[in-house]
Amino acid sequence: MAQQDPIEWALSEALRRAATVTDGTVADYIPELAHTDPELFGIAAVGRRGRRFRAGDAEAQFTIQSISKPFVYAMVLAERGEDHVHDRVGFEPSGEPFNAISLDERGRPANPMINAGAIVTTALVEGAGLDERFERLRGTLSAFAGRPLELDDAVYRSESITGHRNRALASLALAAGVLEGTVEDATELYFRQCALRVTTSDLAAMAATLANGGTNPVTGESVVGELVARNTLSLMASCGMYDHAGEWMYRVGMPAKSGVGGGIVAVRPGQFGVGVFSPRLDRAGNSARGVAALTLLSQTFDLHLLGA
C-alpha cells in the first residue's frame, strides 16, 4: 500500500477528531444555503513552495461568502491606497456579530471584515458598470486561487432577493458619507462576490498567497504587494472571526477568516495557508467543525504565532 504523506495524514487526523463535534446548524437566512449537505468536511493546505495537501471532501464546492472580504480588501488597498480606503472603514475589531450595525464616531464601519465594512470596501472596486467591476473583482480572487472562480447564480439570486439587512447597512454608510456610488450597486457587487464558488483547495491557495507576501506560490503570479498582504493579515488577525476573534487568537493564534457557507481560511505567515469546510455553524457564524479542526492543528503543531 502506498504510504500516506505525513502532512495529509495529519490533516485527516484533524478531520477525524473534529468530526466528533456535532453542534451547529447550516445557515438558512440565505435560503439557498440551506440545501448544503451538512456532513461535508474537507481540508487542504498549500505551502510556500506551492505544494498542495488535501484530506476529506477537499474538492467539494461551496460559496466563499465572507471569506471574500479580506481578498477584496487587499484588492482595493492595492488599487486605491490606504488613505482612501481607511477614510471610509476603520481598523478596529467590533466584538459584534458579522451583520451588526456598526459605525464609529467618524461614521465608518468598524473594520472591513464585517458586512457593513465589507460593503463599503467592495464599493471601491473600480470599473465601468457593475458587470465590468464584478469581472475585475472575480479576476483578482481567481488570481489568488490560481484558477477561474465561477459565480453560483442560485446563491447570488437567493441573497439578492432576501438581503435587506445588508441594503440597510449600505444605506447607513451612504448617509454617513462613507459609501461610494449607490446602495444598489454596492450590495449587488457584494452579493456576487459572496456567491463565488470555491473548494478548500482554492481557499488554501488564496491563503498561501497571503502567507507568501501576495505572490501565489502555485502560479507564481504576484497578485498584491507584500505590504498589502501584511496589512490584510493584520485585520484578519484582529477581526476575521467576528465576535469570536479574541478567543480565536487566544486559542489558535493565526490570522483567519470565516464565511457562512461553512469555509474558513487560516494563514501561517511565511509558511502556508489552510482552507477548511464544514457547513454547520456555531453561534458566531463560524464553521463549528472547522474551528475544531484548526484548533487541533494549531495545538498539535504549535502553529500559534505568538508561541516562543
Q: What is the C-alpha to C-alpha distance for residues 49 and 100, in angstroms, rounded to an integer?
A: 39
Select the residue whose beta carbon is closest to ligand GLN and give its number: 66
Q: Between 214 and 262, whose beta carbon lies closer to ligand GLN?
A: 262
Q: Between 33 and 218, whose beta carbon lies closer to ligand GLN?
A: 33
- To the query of whether residue 242 is one of the catalytic residues in this protein, the response is yes
Active-site annotation holder among 158, 178, 242, 274 = 242
- To the query of whether residue 69 is one of the catalytic residues in this protein, the response is yes
For the CB of residue 193, give the shortest distance to ligand GLN in the complex, in Å: 9
Give Cα 145 distance to the centre of its chain. Answer: 12
For the CB of residue 4, give the shortest distance to ligand GLN in the complex, in Å: 33
Closest Cα to residue 287, out of 92, 8, 22, 6? 22
For residue 54, give the C-alpha cell. 488535501
Q: Between 275 and 285, whose beta carbon lies closer to ligand GLN?
A: 285
Angle between helices 68-80 and 200-211 (to 10 degrees): 40
Length of the chain: 308
Give the CA angle between residues 200, 205, 208 to the nearest 5°. Answer: 120
Q: What is the C-alpha to C-alpha distance for residues 35 and 51, in angstroms, rounded to an integer?
A: 33
Give Cα 167 distance to the centre of its chain. Answer: 20
Judging by beta carbons within 10 Å of its beta carbon (0-12, 13-18, 19+), is residue 148 exposed, middle or buried?
exposed
For the CB of residue 171, give the shortest distance to ligand GLN in the complex, in Å: 15
For the CB of residue 161, give the shortest distance to ligand GLN in the complex, in Å: 13
Q: How far is CA 84 from CA 68, 166, 252, 268, in A?
A: 20, 22, 32, 28
Q: What is the C-alpha to C-alpha distance for residues 196 and 194, in angstroms, rounded to an integer?
A: 6
Active-site annotation holder among 76, 125, 158, 190 = 190
For the CB of residue 35, give the shortest distance to ligand GLN in the complex, in Å: 16
For the CB of residue 115, give the shortest distance to ligand GLN in the complex, in Å: 5
Asked if 89 contacts 125 with a C-beta cutoff of 8 angstroms, the reply is no
Asked if 251 contacts 242 with a C-beta cutoff of 8 angstroms, the reply is no
Q: Between 101 and 227, whose beta carbon lies closer to ligand GLN?
A: 101
Interaction site with ligand GLN (CB under 6 A): 65-66, 98-99, 115, 159, 166, 194, 259-260, 285
Active-site annotation holder among 66, 158, 278, 287 = 66
- To the query of whether residue 257 is one of the catalytic residues in this protein, the response is no
Active-site annotation holder among 85, 260, 265, 274 = 260
Q: Between 29 and 230, whose beta carbon lies closer to ligand GLN?
A: 29
Q: Between 160 and 219, whose beta carbon lies closer to ligand GLN?
A: 160
- To the query of whether residue 66 is one of the catalytic residues in this protein, the response is yes
Phi-psi region of 241 (alpha: psi -120 to 50; beta: other; left: phi over 0): alpha
- Residues marked active site are found at 66, 69, 190, 242, 260
